[in-house]
Every structure is written in C-alpha cells, then in structure tokens.
Structure 1
C-alpha cells in the first residue's frame, strides 16, 4: 500500500510531515505506538489516515471537552460526517441514541470518565475497533496521579487479548512519563517515535523582579507596546480576571479564561481568540490544549509553571505557523514557594487516609467526607483511587512521594529560570535530548532582543491623536493606586 496515495486522496497532501509516515506504518502493521510530535506537527493525521485505511471505528480518548469539540469540528471541515463526541455536552436522550449507534461512526471522541461507564464499555465490547488513540497522553502521568485518576484506569478497559493497536500521542514527555504511558495503557512493546522537542522559532526570555507587584506594571506596559496575539498564563483565577480587566481598560481586546467559567463561555472565548476577535487571553493552564491557532506570537508566564513539562506544553502554543514567537517567564522572589503551596494545597494527606479508614470501619461511605467538608472532591478522587490499589500504609507513602515530586518539579522550573547557561539547551536536556543548533536570539542567556522577534502594536502607532502609550499607562496606574 502506498500511504502517499491514500494521503493525497483523503487529505490532498502529497507528502508527510516528519514522523507521520513512520507512526502510521507501525499502526498499519498492528503495533502499539507512542508518538511524541511537537505542537503543530499534525498528530491528528496519525489516527485519521488509519481510520480510512482500516475502515473501522477509531476510538480517541481526549482530556478536555473543548479539545474534543475542536477536533470534531476540524474533521467535519474535511467533509467527514461520521464523527461524534461522546461527552457531558449530550443530554440523557442524546447520549443513549449516540451509544446505540456508536458502531456507525468512523471517529469516536470520548473522555476517560465516559469511557469507564458500564453502558459505554458494553457497547464498545460489541464493536470491532481499528485503533484506540490516547490523545495528550502525558496527562496519564500528569493528571492521572493528581486529580483525574480515571486516566490510570484506561488500560484496564483496554486489557483484552483481541484489542486493536493503541496509539499514544503527546508533544512532550520525559522518560518517566513515557514509562507511565506504556505501563498504565498496558502497551505491548510499543514502537516509540520521538521528535525533537526544540522549537527554534520560539525565543525564550525571562524577567526577574524584586517583588510580585512589579509584574503587573511590566505586563501592562509590554502588552500595550507590542503586538499579539498572545496568552498570559497565571496560577490564580482571580488574577486572570484582574489582569484582563486592566488590559481592557487600556483598550486591548482581552478575555479571562479559567476552569471556574461556564463551559459554553470558555468555548466562546476560545473561538473568539482563534478567529482574531480577541488579541490576548489571560488564562490559567486550563487554556490552550488543542487550540489550533497558528499565529500566537507571545506567551507570557506571570506565574511560574508547576513543572518543566507544563512550561514546554504552554510555550508550544506559540508560533505554530513557523514564524518567530516570544515566550517570557516572569519571576519574583517567593514565586517558587507560592507555586509549591498551590501544587500541594488541595491534596490528600495521612489524616485523610485515617479518616477514610474510620468511615469504612463505621460502615459508612468514605465519600461522606466530601459532604462533611473534610476533603475536596478532587482530593477525594485521588485518595479513593489509591485506597483501592494498595495497602493504606502504602497509600500514605505514595501521597508523600507525590508531594515531594511536586516540590521537586517546581525547583526544576526555578533552576531553568535562574540558569546562567542556555535556557534552550537546559530545556531540551530535561527531556533527554541534545540541542543540535541554536537559533539567533536564542534566549535571555545567549542574547535576546525582543524587537527582533515581535512587532510594535500597530493600532497605537497609527493613532496620531492618541496619547502616548506611556501617558496612557501612567493614567491607568494612577487610577488604581
């Protein structure tokens, strides 16, 4: 079979991007595959093309509703009607009908939580799938251990003698995460394709501050004089709102995006950003996964990411068109301690383990802990998963290890920020790779001139009657002092 002919027939392309053909060839042979391809390298083609070759349903397990819907819309734009998302957007009747007719679809998108529902498993067991895809597979390690343990149960559903090949897709993964993916998906000697994580067109800056309050002034000034589109990441929902509000006061088309917003509102904001109605998004890390916007020019981290992998994922949302983009980390003394606190604050501990056992001893459901305000729902999900996996004493050790790992992960980000050597080289080494070549304006340590990477905001340059941006900024800051 000539894969290029199938590619041209269904997608109109005459050649593959690096890694696509290698991955598809192994899938066609029936092999399990782990593929690490950078953002914008066409990961979705790796399962869409086999869907036409095998002509049987492809099951795609996807982490976010917005990501799922975006992928469905993209496939529909290719004139493929046999695609569906089985998720909480469907009401009870729609869900029932969709499950009944699931075998009629070519591409089936589903969340890990929905996958584990008995009626869904029963239907899938009666079907002959051609391929099972786990998209954004790093979430198995990153989210499964933290707040969505159903990720760790995906492999239990797939652990069947006659299952189809599994394709695990991600943009980045360390050796540990690769091991987690292979283990928890119960993959059988997978073929692994790892593309370099380096994105030469993303130039890495950093700005150090004495205190956190200085960051806001810097952001307002920087955004006012430089062109987007861009994303500002922060750890706090309230900060996304306050920074967004300040930018709106300055006439910058901006919106705040975080998990506390209604699902439809988040989708609307995301679509506005994609179609260019919004120049900037101020977001928690809930934003960006699977967002297909080619021309993001800037990523600014107001708060440091919780780990290096998150940082790599988040800056990877810039420059998907191959043109230069800028990623700037802002860091002030105390940011690392705050990041550590956020990372382990909403997390079960030894007291919760003892409490869980006490509820069991009284023949009460341990989930009552949530209603009684003794634990958050997120922390309970993590606790409940491990209490069903290992001995309670081992659970205590596991939770302590996970907390220690979270603290260490923050320290690794700080090491990247404080390094005096090449930031790009250090970042690539973190993922077990070597940097082959440095671009000009590589990073803050190698020499970086922002003006070589990003343009000035044209709207302010062209507005001759407007007050200078410095005067506008001073006026706005004075109003909030």
Structure 2
C-alpha cells in the first residue's frame, strides 16, 4: 500500500511529518501503538488516515467535551460528514438515535465516562471497530489515579482477544506515564514512537516578584506592551476573573475561562479566541487541550504548574505555526505552598477511608458522604474506585504514595523555576531524553531577551468587551448582525 498516495488523496499532502508514517504502518499491520508526538506535529492524522484505509469505524476516546467538539467541527469543515461525538451536548433522544446508527459513522468520539455506560458498551460490542484511539493518553496516569478513575477502566472495556489495535497518543509523557498507559490499556507489546518533547521555537522565561501585587502589576504592563495572542494560566477561578477584569479596563481584548462558566459560554469564548476576536485568555488549566490555534505567541503562568508534564502541555499551545513564541513563569515566594495545597486538596484521607467503610457496613449509600459535607465529589470518585480494587490498608498506602508523588512533582517544577542553568535541558532530562541542540535565545538561564522574541503591541487597538453567546443570539434576533 502506498501511504503517500492515500495521504495525498484525502488530505492533499505529499509527505508525512516525522512519526506519522511509522505509526500508521504499524496500525495497518494490526499492532498496538504508543505515539509521543509534540503539539503541532499532526497527531490526529495518525488515526484519521487509517479511518480512510480501514472498512470499520474508528473510536476515539477523548478527555474533554471542548476538545471533542473542536475536533469534530474541524473534521466537518474539512468535508468529513461521517463523524459524531457522543457526549452530554446531545439530548437523550439524539444519543439513542446516534447509537442506533453508530455503525454508519467513520469516526466516533466519546468520553471515558460515556464509554463505561452499559448501553454504550452493549452497542459497541455489536459493532466491528477498526481502531481504538486514546487521545491525550497521559490523562490515564495524570488524571486517572486521582481525578477521573474511569480512565483506568478503559482497558477493561476492550480486554478481549479479537479487539482492534489500540493507538495511545500524547504530546508529553515520562517513562512512568508510558508504563501506566501500556498497563491500564492492557496493550499487547506496543510499538512505541517517542519524539523529543522539546519545542525549539518556544523560548523559556521566568520572572521573580516581591509579592502578588507586584506580579499583577507586571503582567498588566507586559500585556499592554507586547503582542498576543496569549494565554495566562492561574490556579483559581477567582484569579482568572480578577486578572481578566483588570485587563479589560486597560482596553485589552480578553476573556476569562474556567470550569465554573456555562458550557456554551466556554465554547463560545474558545471559538472567539481561535477566530482572533480575543487576543488573550486568562484561564485555569481547564483551557487549551486540543485547541487548534496556530499563532499563540505567549503562554504566561501566573502561578506555578503542579508538575512538569502539565507545564509542557500548557506551553505547547504556543507557536504551533512554527514561529517564535514565549513561555514565562511568574514566581513569588510561597507560590509552591499554594501549589502543594491545591495538588493534594482533593485526595481522600485516612479519615475518609474509615468513614467510607462505616457507610458500607451500615448499608448506607456512600454518595451521602457528599451530601453530608464529609467529602468532595472528586475525592469520593477516587476513594470509591480504590476501595473496590484493594483492601482498606492498601488503599491508605496508595493514597499516601499519591500525595508523596504530587509533592515531589511540585519540587521538580520548583527546580526548573530556581535553576540558574538551562531550563530547556532540565525539562528534556525530566522526560528521560537528551537535548540535541539549543536554539538562540534558548531560555532565562542561557540569556533570553524577551524583546528578541515578542514584538510590541499595537497601541491603537480599540477597547473590547467579550460578548456571551446569549448576547450574540439577542443581537441576531434584533437584526443587529
């Protein structure tokens, strides 16, 4: 089979990017594959092209609704009609209709939680699938153990002899994460394609401040003085709101984005950013995964990320067009203490284990722990998974280890913040790789000059206030558009 001819026929490209052909060749042979390809390297083509080669549908398990919807929209815009996302955006009637005709689709997107519903599994078991794709596969390790345990159950759904090949895709993963992916997906001696995590066109900066107000004043001035588009990451919803409000007052085209906003508002804000109506987004880490915006010039971390993998995922949203981009970490003494608190806040404690056991012994629904204010929904989800899997004593050990690892990950991130040597070298080494070469203006430790990377902002841009989807609809109904 001439893969280049198929590539040209369906996508109009004459050659593959590094890693794409190697991955597709193995999938065509029926081999399980783990592919580590940096953001912007065309991971989605690794399953889209096989979708046109194979006869049966491709199932893509995706972590976020916004990511799923964005990928479906892009494929439809490129002319693919046989694509669907099974998620909470569909009504009950729409879901049932979709399941009835599921075999007619070429690409089926679904979340881990939806995949584990009995009626969905039953429908999939009646179908022949050509390929199972786990997009953003690092989430199995990064989220599965302590946030969304349903990720750990994906492998159980497809644990049968005659299953199709599994493709696990990610942009960043350590050897440990890759091991978790292989184990929990129950992969069969997978072929591994590991590309360097380094993105030479992203230049790594950092700034240190006396206090939070000093940091805030710097970012307000920096955004006024330098070009976007850009993303500012914070660790709290309230901080995203306050920073975006201050920037709006300065005439910056900006919006805040976090999980507390209405789902349609989030989708609308994301679309405004992609289309260029917004120059900046101030967001929690719920924003950005899978957002296909090529020209992001800056990613700024107002708070330190909880781990190096998250940091690399987030700065990887910059410079997808291959042009120079800037990633800046802002640090004030004590930021790491806040990061430690947030990283471990939703982990169940030994007290929770004891109370869980009491509820079970009294034949009481453990979900009442949430209603009684004893535990958060996330913590119960984690606890419920492990209490079913292991004896009580082992659960306590698992949770202690999870907390210890989270604190160590923050220490690793602080090592990058505090190092006076090359940041890029340290990051690449964290992923078990070796840095082949350094770009000019590599990082803070190598003598980075921001003005060599980022152009000044055009000062004559008009003031802007982002509109919600509701206001947009009202405007259309009133005939203003």
Q: Which residue of 1 aligns with 2:53?
A: 53
Q: Is the 8 A contact 1:344 1:403 kept in 2?
A: yes
Q: Which residue of 2 aligns with 1:479?
A: none
Deviations along 1:220-271, whole A, 9 cap, x unmatched?
0100000000000000100000000000000000000001111100000000
In structure 2, stretches of 5+ residues that fail to align are 464-481
Deviation at 1:461, TM superposition (A): 9.2
Match of 1:458, SS state, is coil
Could you tell me the TM-score, scaled by structure 1's length?
0.95
Deviation at 1:186, TM superposition (A): 0.2
Q: Is the 8 A contact 2:137 2:169 kept in 1?
A: yes
Task: State the alpha-carbon separation in 2 of the partners of residues 156 and 381 from structure 1.
Answer: 18
Q: Is the 8 A contact 2:174 2:431 kept in 1?
A: yes
Q: Which residue of 1 aligns with 2:424?
A: 424
Q: Which residue of 1 aligns with 2:116?
A: 116
Q: Which residue of 2 aligns with 1:89?
A: 89
Match of 2:445, SS state, is coil
The answer to whether structure 1 residue 390 and structure 2 residue 365 are counterparts is: no
Match of 2:446, SS state, is coil
Deviation at 1:77, TM superposition (A): 1.5
Q: Is the 8 A contact 1:233 1:285 kept in 2?
A: yes
Deviations along 1:348-368, whole A, 9 cap, x unmatched?
110000000001111111121
Q: Which residue of 2 aligns with 1:329?
A: 329
Task: State the alpha-carbon separation in 2 of the partners of residues 232 and 79 from structure 1.
Answer: 34
Q: Which residue of 2 aligns with 1:74?
A: 74
Match of 1:303, SS state, is coil
Q: Which residue of 1 aligns with 2:127?
A: 127
Deviations along 1:406-459, whole A, 9 cap, x unmatched?
111111100011011100000000001111111110000101111110000113
Deviation at 1:210, TM superposition (A): 2.1
Alignment of structure 1 residues 302-317 onto 2, 5 Å: 302-317=302-317
Task: State the alpha-carbon separation in 2 of the partners of residues 441 and 101 from structure 1.
Answer: 54
Match of 1:109, SS state, is strand
Could you tell me the TM-score, scaled by structure 2's length?
0.95
Q: Which residue of 2 aligns with 1:140?
A: 140
Task: State the alpha-carbon separation in 2 of the partners of residues 19 and 345 from structure 1.
Answer: 39
Give the count of matched residue pairs: 463
Task: State the alpha-carbon separation in 2 of the partners of residues 443 and 55 from structure 1.
Answer: 48
Task: State the alpha-carbon separation in 2 of the partners of residues 144 and 3 from structure 1.
Answer: 35
Deviations along 1:202-231, whole A, 9 cap, x unmatched?
000000112222110000010000000000
Q: Which residue of 1 aligns with 2:24?
A: 24
What is the CA RMSD across the aligned residues, in angstroms?
1.1
Deviation at 1:462, TM superposition (A): 11
Task: State the alpha-carbon separation in 2 of the partners of residues 93 and 66 from structure 1.
Answer: 21
Alignment of structure 1 residues 168-317 onto 2, 5 Å: 168-317=168-317
Task: State the alpha-carbon separation in 1 of the partners of residues 344 and 350 from structure 2.
Answer: 13
Task: State the alpha-carbon separation in 2 of the partners of residues 63 and 461 from structure 1.
Answer: 36
The answer to whether structure 1 residue 360 and structure 2 residue 356 are counterparts is: no
Deviation larger for 284-293 or 208-217: 208-217
4+ residue runs over 3 A deviation: 460-463
Alignment of structure 1 residues 367-446 onto 2, 5 Å: 367-446=367-446
Task: State the alpha-carbon separation in 1 of the partners of residues 452 and 461 from structure 2.
Answer: 18
Match of 2:328, SS state, is strand
Deviations along 1:125-162, whole A, 9 cap, x unmatched?
01000000000000000010111000000000010110
Deviations along 1:167-215, whole A, 9 cap, x unmatched?
0000010000000000000000000001111101000000011222211
